[in-house]
Structure 1
């Protein structure tokens, strides 16, 4: 065992998802106020600890199955480089840190963290085997990050922003499942039960449906803010680029796509700059 393997168990590259907590102050125009950015350090750390704890717990639950996966077999647990005891201890430490940090923020924030951890645990143990429900569990994780950010920064979450985040996370989750099914082929069901339960064409249709819904809800949300509507074409480009990536056989993991796909990374960066120009001018 070495420190690198423990870091890999934490999946720090997935912490990008926790930046969702900064969306409420960013979009409300509050992020540049004195002390607001620093105010997000503890909430971000709490969700990083909670999400890493859920990743370790999921790896513990899937260790035997991951050992036969073409890519996941090289992970620290299924490869045997980290023992189950060490991983379980790490998970407990992360859980304790998440709760202790959340306690310093607010009781409502603790509730969001606890619900997140409960949903993640139920997902790892059983819900990930239920078609459609597995997608909703993943989406709920993003929604809880959004509302956790709203609580931490005392910013109201509009209905249209909630719908946009919910539908976008469904779209990305479906895309990831679709790419996994294509990559694993006939062995898909051996590694993830739901992949063989989704009928042929269902995941592809769900991608198009949720992608179109995201564009509609985001457009309605953007209209409420002067100049933000001009980010809608950028949103359209990002959705189409992700679809093209998936259909061409590349990985559908949202974090990997954002980091490794230059056009998607440029789209995300430009979106932030345009939001800043629209909201903070």
Structure 2
């Protein structure tokens, strides 16, 4: 008896469109928005970037899209059996059997090789960062995801590497305290988001959580509730230290909106969207979107202020 979950697409769909849709689905293009972290360096430099810098960062983000999709395929190949017990992941093409493992492996190797080689040709440091990203994620998929908190740090490192790549492509001095504090802020912030996702998985998977992800049997709702305030505190402290190092009053003021965003996120996640994807709250909630826009406009205002002052 075939117990595989219902696939993404019905058999009535045309073969060509079905193959295209499956090819896109396995790359998870909706997740590419995470590579927007590469662009954060543009805000950090507090001045309007040149066209050359914009193109450099766009290329860096595209390369990260290719490499992250390579890792997504690798994860799906490793976890396709466990994905079949997850209410959402069971719909993925490899889990449903709509894409064979042979085809997935071929796509992964070709995409990963092209992306990595392109990264080294584009910028040596970009290639190094992509290599580190791949190695960390391979270790995560094969073993590190089984250990409590280490699994979160692996995910956090991926986002921090994205921001670091943006810094390098923009020529920002990554050894200055301002940049170091911002990188630490990104690390703690993504740890906070990642821990929220673990809470969501615990609730959704219930008694099957430990069979889906080894580290989940070590997490508990009580432990997560105790650790969350620590990560929120670290996130705020590192961001405040960054704003102080930026030596800009407007940037210091942006801390208020970061705090509101965190509080709003916690409220929504604990009361309304507990069973949803934590990262999707940003796009669902209007006050959250407005908060992020105002936060971004503060940085634009700071850049305009520096431009007028001739700095």
TM-score when normalising by structure 1: 0.94
2:37 to 11, 20, 30: 20
| RMSD between superposed Cα atoms in Å | 1.7
* Distance (Å, rounded) in 2 between the aligned partners of 1:2 and 1:106: 34
Seen in structure 2, the aligned counterparts of structure 1 residues 105 and 152 have a Cα distance that, compared at 3 Å, is: farther
Q: Once the two structures are superposed, what CA deviation does each residue of 1:73-104 show, in whole Å capped at 9, x if it has no partner? A: 11111111211111111111220222122123
How do 1:131-170 and structure 2 match up within 5 A? 131-157=148-174, 158-170=179-191
2:113 is aligned to 96
1:239 is aligned to 262
* Distance (Å, rounded) in 2 between the aligned partners of 1:201 and 1:44: 37
Matched, 1:203 2:224: yes
Q: Which has the larger Rg?
A: 2
Q: State the 1:19 CA deviation.
A: 1.3
Match of 1:32, SS state, is coil
1:47 is aligned to 64
TM-score when normalising by structure 2: 0.85
Q: State the 1:252 CA deviation.
A: 5.8
* Distance (Å, rounded) in 1 between the aligned partners of 2:23 and 2:51: 36
Q: State the 1:63 CA deviation.
A: 0.3
Seen in structure 2, the aligned counterparts of structure 1 residues 15 and 254 have a Cα distance that, compared at 3 Å, is: farther
Aligned residues between the structures: 281
Contact 1:20 1:142 in 2 (8 A): yes
Q: Once the two structures are superposed, what CA deviation does each residue of 1:113-170 show, in whole Å capped at 9, x if it has no partner? A: 0000011111111111111110110011011111111122211232211110111011
* Distance (Å, rounded) in 1 between the aligned partners of 2:107 and 2:292: 33
Of residues 252-261 and 55-64 in structure 1, the stretch that sits farther from structure 2 once superposed is 252-261
Contact 1:175 1:252 in 2 (8 A): no
Contact 1:179 1:246 in 2 (8 A): no
| Runs of 5+ unmatched residues, structure 2 | 1-17, 306-311
